[in-house]
A and B are shown apart, each in its own frame.
Chain A
Amino acid sequence: MNILRKMSACLALFFAAVPLLTAQNRFPKPDFTNGYKIPELSPLPSAASPVERLMLSIAPYLQYAVVAVLLIFLLLSCYFLYRKRSRRGVLVMALATVAFFGFIIGGCICPVGSIQNVAAAVFNPAFPISPVVLGIFLLPLFFALFAGRVFCGSVCPLGTIQEIVNFYPLKVPPLLDRILRTIPLFYLGFGVLFAATGIGFIICRFDPFVGLYRMAGPFFILTSGGGLLLLGVFVARPYCRYLCPYGVLLGWLSRLSSRRVSITPDECIRCRLCENACPVDAIMPPSPPNQDREPMRKSLHRIILLLILLPMTAAAGGVTGYFLGNPLSLLHPRVELYRQVSTELAAGERPQTDESLAFRSAGTPVAELQKEVSAVVSNIRLGSCILGIFIALAIMARLFNFSKRREQKDYQVDNSLCVCCGRCYNVCPRDKRNRIMLKESE
């Protein structure tokens, strides 16, 4: 027995030296004499638990069911928000979203992250994208075109959890608010750039709430999620307003929507009660009477100045983007691998990292990697140049919007900012519910 063991040990060492070049195993399949039958895989994923088998077999349909639920939730939210004018209905939907899209589905995949799948699929035809993901991406945008950001109000798993904790909304100073609101533009731009060029899905990597929904995740994500929620008690929806890239798209499209949250059910009596009701400062006061405004000449001048500055800012953005391309490309895993492998090869070293070990033992020629990497780098450079122009133009468009003269006689919401939470319904004295309550108190 002992000799046998030693022999098999020697054999093992001998065979280990023989590289697996041919499709042959180092040790032959044993011939059992006691009738032992070789089982299949263990544990058997294909024949695992009945539950897992069931889940896997219905998984394709389940994914479609999620899209259907999304559609139903959106429709219900519209119903509560516009037909019922019910803040409570919106809140119930928000809770349902936290439960279903949050804790049951696990917060993934959500429309916010799906931006990246779509970007990757648009720029890389080999990237797999299913109609399910596409549906999840497009449905809320479609609704935004007709009914504003109802998705944000009660169907977004990220937004609703912030909505629920927002107990003491405080006002953010308007200038700070405007400055911070440019961050989502950058986040959207970089999210799309990184997904399209294969650097990675940063919007998912830094999704602060998905960790809470999964009740697992890196320490950094869990703490930043907790921190944002804590902040969200006082500052309404900090992620929505100052980070969310999907909110940018929803904001653009909801500008086109003719349906919006109307603070009053019938007539605005300009009582100013709603002035501070909006947690995200989406309520615009009536434009001041003509004599109180700055003269037309002045705003015209500002707009002309902006138009003159437009090409220059765009060019500056493009150039900055172009020069950012090289440092950005270092974030790409293949570029990093190439850098590592080529320095190792130049120094005649053995593989220093797992990455280069995997690459070098796979035997792919370095020239191939180099070709791939140079294509990647030029893509990133082009992409970040376009990104620079895009961000410059988007910021200019915002400035333009600020300087435009508004003609508005009542208190109205700005559709691109309103997150459809329905809080303002509860303060308007023209609202039926409020009238009843007023009567009762009298």
Chain B
Amino acid sequence: MNEDIRQDSDSAKQVGLSRRSFLKMCGISAIALAGSAMVYKRKELTGTVWQLDPEKCIQCGRCATACVLTPSAVKCVHCFARCGYCDLCSGYFVQKPVALDTGAENQLCPTGALKRTFIEDPYFQYTIDEKLCIGCGRCVKGCADFGNGSLFLQIRHSRCKQCNECAIAVACPASAFKRVPVTNPYLMKTDVPGGGKA
């Protein structure tokens, strides 16, 4: 213990001390009260993370550019259960493709992250190579506009830094971003629009 601390508070601050300890009590009770009032009746006991609601997303492309990370923490996810396995995939091909093949000039994806594999006539399976995907949402837009909407964007929590204020949430024109419970951190698409099962 440092004697002088006591000394100084004893000598010079005799008058101040009682007022100070009174104020201190006020401070402590205010902190305790505010604290308990804030958690009272709130559900977020485990904390929250950011996620985007794919039903609100309009595929503006800002997910790829607004994130503090480059490439973005947002990447594309494919819900196979909703996919039509179309040969002429509007998420894979540009609007008027020169040829229906894997040529880069025919693909919507700027990085070639969407992979197409033949299953059986006339069906093709589309998978996302996550390492290449930059979250630009072009395939998502193509699929939403002319297909089943089986491609969608999600923040990948393995990459996301969980900024206190998500930079994409600020930029998103559709207010698609929200805080979700960390115990349930993804907002997935299901078989059919509206979240049901086919």
Interface, chain A (partner B; CB < 8 A): 1, 4-5, 8-9, 12-13, 15-16, 20, 23-30, 32-34, 36, 38-43, 45-46, 48-49, 51-52, 55-56, 59-60, 63, 82, 85, 106, 108-109, 113-114, 116-118, 121-122, 128-134, 138, 141-142, 145-146, 200-201, 204-205, 210-211, 214, 216-218, 253, 256-260, 262, 264-267, 333, 353-355, 357-358, 361-362, 407-410, 412
Contacts and interface: CB of A to CB of B under 8 A. Distances in A.
A200 B177 CA distance: 13
Contacts of A27: 84, 86, 147-148
Nearest to A6: B88
Which 10 pairs between the two chains have the least Cβ-Cβ distance?
Answer: A27-B84, A354-B173, A60-B46, A358-B174, A201-B165, A355-B173, A52-B158, A130-B47, A23-B194, A130-B44
A214 B164 CA distance: 13
Contacts of A211: 68
A41 B188 contact: yes
Contact of A12 (B70, B88, B120): B88
B174 A130 contact: no
21 contacts: A5-B100, A8-B122, A25-B198, A29-B84, A36-B120, A36-B125, A40-B80, A51-B158, A63-B47, A108-B161, A113-B164, A129-B42, A133-B47, A138-B34, A200-B165, A201-B164, A256-B20, A265-B2, A266-B4, A357-B58, A358-B60
Contacts of A259: 5
Per DSSP, chain B at the interface is: loop
A25 B80 contact: no
Contact of A41 (B45, B60, B80): B80
Contacts of B34: 138
Interface of B: 2-5, 8-9, 12-13, 17, 20-21, 23-24, 27-28, 31, 34-35, 38-39, 42-49, 56, 58, 60, 62, 68-70, 75, 77-82, 84-88, 90, 100, 119-123, 125, 127-128, 130, 145-149, 154, 156-158, 161-165, 167, 170, 173-175, 179, 182-183, 185-186, 188, 191-194, 196, 198
B8 to A, nearest CB: 7
A217 B60 contact: no
A99 to B, nearest CB: 17
B80 A409 contact: no
B119 A32 contact: yes
B101 to A, nearest CB: 12
Nearest to A410: B8
Contact of A46 (B20, B24, B128, B186): B186
B174 A55 contact: no
Nearest to B163: A108
B84 A45 contact: no
B145 to A, nearest CB: 7
A222 B149 CA distance: 38
A5 B84 CA distance: 14
Given A41-B188, A108-B163, A266-B3, A130 B8 contact: no
B172 to A, nearest CB: 9
A16 B158 contact: no
Given A23-B193, A200-B170, A216-B69, A121 B38 contact: yes
A145 B24 contact: yes
Contact of A43 (B90, B130, B175): B130
Given A4-B122, A26-B148, A407-B12, A42 B80 contact: yes
Given A108-B162, A201-B164, A25 B47 contact: no
Nearest to A25: B148
A237 B123 CA distance: 63
Given A200-B165, A204-B163, A25 B68 contact: no
Contact of B77 (A43, A265, A353): A43
A34 B119 contact: yes
Contacts of A267: 4
A353 B173 contact: yes
A24 B82 CA distance: 10
Nearest to A132: B47
Nearest to A118: B38
Contacts of A40: 80-81
Contacts of B128: 42-43
A104 to B, nearest CB: 12
A108 B29 CA distance: 28
